[in-house]
Amino acid sequence: MSSTPRVVEAGLRTFLCAYEGYEEDPFCLGEFVVVREGAFPALGVVVDAASGPEDPSRPLQAQGAAGQTAAEVLAENQVLRLLLRTRVTVVSCGYVEGEAIRPLLPPAPPPLLGRVEAADDGEVKRVTGDGAFLALLVASPLCDDAVVAAAIRSAAGAFAGEEREFLVGTGKELARLLKAEPARLASILRGVAG
């Protein structure tokens, strides 16, 4: 299966990427992705994923015989897959400039049709290490508490063996950002601690 998703709408703060068709297993919520193209390769966090008909005016009809699974229905109707799309919304949280990764808004949006790939552990560590990436997430209207929690959890995966230190350090950064919103801090950390 899996096609490479590409940027279909590009902004500084967010960009939208789409798979060529329907993708059952897209990037996960909170996953760090990177567009390694353009002047300033951009890093971001997946904040939303949605699948549906390519043409919103032609809604998908429920179909399939009784007892068939989704996979069986799709296998029988190959053409259906081409009428569907999976889209993933990404919030920017850094960019690459030469050797450095900066946890800031990229100076320019990623190129349209740029390939969106999962960031590797090294990239994730560098963009999240000092906790500064949180400022962009917390400020984004697209990021609710669940999204921030998912992002922190996925970043912690890159810090094998030092997850706890990372979580506490990041939590402290978050505590500074949310100093006037203790309830929000608690709700995010509850999501992080799982």
Partner 1 sequence: MSERRNLGVVVGGSLAKSVEVRLEPGASAQLGQYVMSPLEGGSRLLGMVTDVALKAAEAGPTSWPPPTGDTPFAALLRDVLLDTAVYTQVEVNPYLEVPTGGGEPTRARRLPRHFAPVALADQEALAAAFAADGQALTVGTPLGMDDVQVWVPLERLFERSVGVFGKSGTGKTVTTLLLLDALVQDARDRPSRGERTVALVFDMHDDYGWRMKFQGGERQGLKQRHPAHVCMHPLEDNVANSDGRLVVGTRDIEPADLEVLQTIGQFTAQAIEVAYECRDRFGQGWIDELLADDPSPAVVRKTWREGEPPEEVNWTRVASRLGFHSGSLDNLRRGLGKFRRKEFVQSGAGQFARVLEAIVQELLGGKSVVIQFGRFGTDMTSYMLVANMLSRRIWERYRAEMEAAQGDRAKEPNRLVIVIEEAHKFVDRSVAGKSIFGDIARELRKYNVTLLVIDQRPSQIDPEVLSQIGTKFCFQLDSEADVEALVGGIAGRAGLRQVIAALESRRQALVFGHALPMPVVVRPPELAAGGRAGATLRARLEGNGARAERATPAGLFGA
Q: SS3 for 108-171, per residue?
A: CCCCCCCEEEECCHHHHHHHHCCCCHHHHHHHCCCCCHHHHHHHHHHHHCCCCCCHHHHHHHHH
Q: Which is nearer to partner 1, 60 or 193 (CB)?
A: 193
**What's the min distance (Å) between Cβ of 9 and partner 1?**
35
Backbone phi, psi, residue 51, to 5°? -125, 145
Q: Is 62 in the site for partner 1 (CB under 8 A)?
A: no
Cβ closest to partner 1, residue 105 vs residue 175: 175
Burial category of 94 from C-beta neighbours within 10 Å (exposed 0-12, middle 13-18, buried 19 and up): buried
Give least dist CB 191 to partner 1, A: 9
Minimum CB–partner distance for residue 56 and partner 1 (Å):
40
Dihedral through CA 133, CA 3, CA 120, CA 7, nearest 10? -30
- CB nearer partner 1, residue 96 or residue 151: 151
Q: Which stretch binds partner 1 (CB under 8 A): 53-61, 70-78, 99-107, 178-186?
A: 178-186
Considering the rule CB under 8 A, would residue 185 count as an interface residue with partner 1?
A: yes
Among the residue ranges 56-64, 72-80, 99-107, 185-193, the one whose residues contact partner 1 (CB under 8 A): 185-193
Angle in degrees, CA 22, 25, 27, rounded to 5: 105
Contact 185, 164 (CB under 8 A): no
What is d(CA 18, CA 49) in angstroms, rounded to the nearest whole number?
Answer: 9
130 is a site residue for partner 1 (CB under 8 A): no
Per-residue contact string for residues 148-177; x = within reach of partner 1 by CB under 8 A: -------------------xx--xx-xxx-
Name the residues that contact partner 1, by CB under 8 A. 167-168, 171-172, 174-176, 179-183, 185-186, 189-190, 192-194
